[in-house]
Amino acid sequence: MARRLSVFVQPLSMDEGRKLQRISRSLKDAVRLRRAIVVLMSGQGQVVRDIASLMQVSEDYVRNVIHAFNERGFAALDPKWRGTPEDDR
């Protein structure tokens, strides 16, 4: 079986990193929180497999969040955004 290449978010600016940290400290919206943590961990160099394991989500979920953030920026953290049906399992 072929090994999948690791996916990472685009390089984050200091402001983007701070904004993600603020979001990750608020517990108001679980979906937005989970997505922000995935992006933040990827921005810190964590690989998809490790993020999925720590967050107890699928590797596909992590990849989808990372790709969405790279394409849409912070709008991809919004719970109203839907990429695939498994996004919020």
> Does residue 30 sit within a domain?
yes
Number of domains in the chain: 1
> Does residue 27 sit within a domain?
yes
pLDDT tens profile 20-41: 999 888 768 888 999 999 999 9
88 secondary structure, DSSP code? T
Contact 77, 35 (CB under 8 A): yes
Domain ranges, residue 65: 14-75
> Does residue 40 sit within a domain?
yes
Gap between the terminal Cα atoms of the chain: 26
pLDDT tens profile 43-85: 999 999 999 999 999 999 999 999 999 999 999 998 775 565 4
Contact 64, 83 (CB under 8 A): yes
